[in-house]
A = this chain, B = another copy of it.
Amino acid sequence: MSYNLPAVAAGLVAAQQADSLDPVAHYRDQFVIVDPNIVYFDGNSLGRMPKQTAAHLHHVIHTEWSDGLIRGWGRGWYEAPARIGDKIGQLLGAAPGQVLACDSTSVNLYKLVMAALQARPDRTDIVSDALNFPSDLYIMQGAIAHYGNRHQLRLVASRDNELTVTPDDLYALITPQTAVVVLSHVTFKSGFIYDMQAITQKAHAVGALVIWDLSHSAGAVPMALDAWQVDMVVGCGYKFLNGGPGAPAFLYINKSIQDQVESPIWGWFGQKAPFAFDLQYEPAPGLARFLAGTPPMLSLSAVESAVDMLNQVGMPAIRAKSVAITEYMIALFDAHLVDLGFTLGSPRDAGIRGSHVSIRHPLGYQINQALIAEMQVIPDFREPDNLRLGLSPLTTSFAEVWHGVDRIRHAVSQGLHHKYPATRAAVT
């Protein structure tokens, strides 16, 4: 599947024409879009709601819970973490039995980092990068504190102002002392895609494990976890998986190591026989031991219907659209935003770029506020100067990108942002 990019010089008309030719454009109608005038560049923070999710939630609320009551656990709820996990796995190149939909990304990462350090008891290093989502670093720092500060967190730095990481810089840190390499597949600021396969091989070559955080790639960037022999991953349910606000996350553990790792949280859903009520914990064989408590079924159900839709489309079509629409964004950026003091905060090479484009500006925080308050554009601001423009393959149209850039240009050229505070708010 390939796209002809709209000619920038031809403006909105060309964008609209590209939409009319887009083979996945009709999926946009499968989502609830309350106000079509809003340019939504934050599907990578909270994806839009599929219409079938609304219908499915209605069923869960009014039939499964209200009518089925406790019987719901025997009618599909109990299997939901594994069933939905398998469906997510389909997007990730993971055969069934290796993915669970459960808990939050933080809690899942905690389980896996703790498990990895336990599985490599004589090693001292966790390797990550300074581009990682800080929360992931916090989890690692907590795990290190927890094991008595016997480990060190070795962070590779970026040489190009947080845009990418030079592979050799990373490889230099991966040594026989490395217990685990923990990286985000797609970095949250620049959208840089790591070479998951190559780095996994480098880690394995020295006997280290890898944990990939797929929060910004699951549902947007194709991968092949099984073929690449990845050990473990975590990922987020509410970004490109469109699972709703704070949707349960997921984790993957390669079948080959499932019996070698153990969750630190010995929960009853991870017990061998949860309803035998034995007083002594015995972990379930395989993957299930990484479940903890009872899953939040309303939120979890919303993940399932969204992932069903993504599987229907398939990752190749999703990626083709993602590449086309980020390419178009960058073409518009070059034509309309560079002269306003913006610089590109994402790789130009689509091969190493996920589904968002960051644009940087010294007054980015103020511009972000002006866009939301006055221009009906919703981006995301990320310190220190990134306006992160998330382009969700199934819901962002070429016309929306055109309008977005047009409005950003308007706001900045008119100086609308100058009246907004430069101080960072505690919550954005």
Chain A residues close to B by CB (< 8 Å): 32, 34-35, 38, 40, 42, 45-46, 48-49, 53-54, 57, 61-62, 64-67, 69-74, 77-78, 103-107, 110, 130, 134-135, 137-139, 141-142, 145-146, 155, 238, 244-249, 263-269, 271, 273-281, 292-300, 302, 372, 378, 380, 382-383, 424-428
- Known interface pairs A38-B69, A103-B104, A134-B281; 10 further A-B residue pairs with C-beta atoms within 8 A, sorted by A's residue number: A32-B66, A34-B67, A65-B245, A73-B245, A103-B293, A104-B295, A142-B266, A246-B298, A275-B427, A298-B299
| 22 A-B pairs whose Cβ atoms sit less than 8 Å apart in the complex | A40-B69, A46-B72, A53-B61, A57-B57, A57-B298, A73-B245, A77-B246, A104-B267, A106-B268, A110-B264, A110-B265, A135-B267, A138-B271, A141-B280, A155-B279, A245-B294, A246-B297, A246-B298, A246-B300, A275-B424, A275-B426, A296-B300
Least CB distance, A67 to chain B, in whole angstroms: 4
| B278-A426 in contact (CB<8A) | no
Provide the bound-state CA to CA distance between A40 and B71, in Å: 11
CA distance A78 to B245 in the complex (A): 11
Contact B61 A279 (CB under 8 A): no
The residues of B that contact A71 with a CB separation of less than 8 Å are 372, 378
A14 → B minimal CB distance (Å): 27
Verify A378–B61 contact, CB threshold 8 A: no
The 10 tightest CB contacts between A and B, nearest first, are A104-B293, A142-B266, A106-B293, A296-B299, A135-B268, A138-B281, A245-B297, A106-B267, A34-B67, A138-B266
**Chain B residue at minimal CB-CB distance from A103:** B107
- A47 CB → nearest B CB, Å: 9
A80 to chain B, nearest CB (A): 9
A391 CB to closest chain B CB (Å) equals 14
Q: In the docked arrangement, what's the CA distance between A394 and B204, Å? A: 58
**Copies of this chain assembled into the complex:** 2
Given A104-B103, A141-B280, A280-B141, A48–B62 Cβ distance below 8 Å?
no
A136 to chain B, nearest CB (A): 9
The chain B residue with its CB closest to the CB of A137 is B279
Cβ contacts under 8 Å, A74 to chain B:
427-428
Are A70's CB and B380's CB within 8 A?
A: yes
- Name, among A32, A38, A110, the residue most crowded by chain B CB atoms within 10 Å (CB to CB): A110
Give the chain B neighbours of A134 by CB distance below 8 A: 268, 271, 277-279, 281
Across the interface, do B244 and A298 meet the contact criterion of CB distance under 8 Å? Answer: yes
User: Contacting A294 at CB < 8 Å: which of B49, B105, B274, B302?
Assistant: B105
The interface residues of chain B lying within 8 Å CB-to-CB of A271 are 134-135, 138
Residue of B nearest to A372 (CB): B71
Q: Within 8 Å CB of A263, what residues of B?
A: 142
The CB with the most chain B CB atoms within 10 A, among A69, A73, A134, A271, is that of: A69
Q: A296 is contacted by which of B67, B138, B248, B380 (Cβ under 8 Å)? A: B248
CB-defined contacts of A293 to chain B, threshold 8 Å? 103-107, 135, 249
**CA–CA, A34 to B263, complex, Å?**
40
> Nearest B residue to A102 by beta-carbon distance?
B104
Q: CA separation between A72 and B40, bound complex, in Å?
A: 14
Select from chain B the residue with minimum beta-carbon distance to A41: B70
CB of A239, distance to nearest CB on chain B (Å): 11
- Say yes or no: A61 contacts B54, CB within 8 Å: yes
Which of A34, A46, A71, A269 counts the most chain B CB atoms within 10 A? A46
Contacts of A268 in B (CB 8 A): 106, 134-135, 138
